[in-house]
Chain A
Amino acid sequence: MIFLDNLINGLSLGSIYAIIALGYTMVYGIAKMLNFAHGDVIMVGAYVAFCGLQYWGLPPVVAILASMAICTVLGITIEGLAYRPLRQAASLAVLITAIGMSYLLQNVALMIWGANPKSFPPTFINSTTFRLGQLRVSSATVITILANIVIMVSLTLFTAKTKMGKAMRCVSEDRGAAELMGINVNRTISVTFAIGSALAAIAGVLLCSSYPILQPTTGSMPGIKAFTAAVFGGIGSIPGAMLGGVLLGVIEIFGKAYISTELGDAIVFAVLIVVLLVKPTGLLGKPVREKV
């Protein structure tokens, strides 16, 4: 029973990591950069939903949609203002800009919402607990896992079938060749940031539904874990983000339950190191192909 309990908690936490990891992996695959500020977009998303629920009296679904809309605009703005001017710059300059953007978001959040942790209000997401014999599963867990599955399936279909999705795959493979097809690379990258940021908002709400303490650094640790998950699964790969996220969540919860609570995070990173030693491109990553 405890084993099943841990497994379900692991799957739920892993689903949140997976949804965040998608943002990292898509941006990396298409814009070839690490958007270090992605974790902080989660935090902004959670705060916006918090305000919607607590201060503006919005129904939960509307608060979540507002949070997604604001994060989408935020993601597009960050990309356009901070990253686009550096499109031809060295990747180190882009990375440092992204780290700066991360601190900027945290400090702006500090100014607006203060340092005191806020308690995220309960919603339909965590309103019930299901009982299956001895097993007790919170609705937040079920909704998180379902959301993850729906998002994965939609994104997979989107990249496989739609014109914009195919354009993204082209830009990811060869930016110059994509331009030669008439694909507007900047617009494609903007859309990627928009999708990643909207998902970050969802992840923020789900995260705070399971772990309801909200402060300006709320996004940092899940952000780093999800980035790890993206690398673990093979950065640039959408199914890789799903697999990496879910595995990471399960490993973390099992590590904490059966080995050591303090060492839970260390175990996660140790597993990552072992995987990268055996398979440097991550579980589902494609080996980098030499250009002819």
Chain B
Amino acid sequence: MSEKENKSPLLEVRDLHVFYGAIHAIKGISLQVYDNEIVTLIGANGAGKSTTLNTIAGLLKPRQGTIELIGQSLGGLGASRIVPKGLSLCPEGRRIFQQMTVRENLEMGCYTRPNSEIADSIADVFERFPRLKEREKQIAGTLSGGEQQMLAMARALMSKPSILMLDEPSMGLAPILVEQIFGIIAELHEAGTTILLVEQNAQMALHVADRAYVMETGKITLQGPAEELLHNEAVQKAYLGS
């Protein structure tokens, strides 16, 4: 941690406020993600985790606050202009293109990169997700839930982002698949990917992450090394079911 304080963060969010009409969904949160870290954002349903990620990705406009990626302000840019800067969101509910093939989905993930990079990126992604390779020509909507989640993650990786944001990648999956998804997250981390992870499954998330933030009704109420939060009494009571 002390070593990290000297480095500037890859992603820095300061005093973010987001509204849906009159609803004040995010009430002034600040967070940092450093190079090569997994940072997790946990919290109950409706705490504002997805809203936070969607705002960072540029799908929502903040009312107040700043978002910086590698020291560069993302203020006011729409999602399509943020992607090429090296930030990728794998959204809640996967949102793969159901009517396109697996390969087309992956190609779309490479939309902002030169066409010459597509083949390389696809080869990389297939190495990490061999199951997708077998299903290259399949219509994405016919994949199983676990395969769809893998496709969504693979698609988000196609642009070779400097930071990957994952919104509830384990949602709705059987325990064995949850294990598998977290295995992939750990592998990506080992390969040097920086990840901001939103999860309902706090147990798994805290095990895989370096640092964590706990959100409640639009605010960050706790933060620290994941290890510490795993043993924090309040966290155990609220999120770890013990």
Contact = CB atoms under 8 A, between A and B. Distances in A.
B79 interface: yes
Contacts of A289: 98, 141
Given A166-B107, A166-B108, A180 B97 contact: no
B93 interface: yes
Contacts of B59: 176, 179-180
A6 to B, nearest CB: 37
A178 B112 CA distance: 12
Contacts of A176: 59, 79, 91, 95
A182 interface: yes
Nearest to B83: A182
A182 B93 contact: no
Interface size range on B against A: 20 to 34
B109 interface: yes
Interface in A124-181: 163, 166-167, 169-170, 173-174, 176-181
B219 interface: no
A64 interface: no
A172 B87 CA distance: 23
Contacts of B115: 163
Given A291-B93, A292-B93, A184 B98 contact: no
Interface residues of chain A: helix, strand, loop or mixed (majority): helix
29 contacts: A163-B111, A163-B115, A166-B100, A167-B108, A169-B97, A170-B108, A174-B95, A176-B91, A176-B95, A177-B91, A177-B95, A177-B96, A179-B78, A180-B57, A180-B79, A180-B88, A180-B89, A180-B95, A180-B156, A181-B109, A181-B111, A182-B80, A182-B83, A183-B80, A184-B80, A289-B98, A291-B95, A292-B94, A292-B172
Given A179-B58, A180-B91, A292-B93, 15 more contacts: A166-B100, A169-B97, A176-B59, A176-B91, A177-B95, A179-B80, A180-B57, A180-B59, A180-B89, A181-B108, A182-B79, A182-B80, A182-B81, A182-B111, A183-B108
Interface of A: 163, 166-167, 169-170, 173-174, 176-185, 286, 289, 291-292
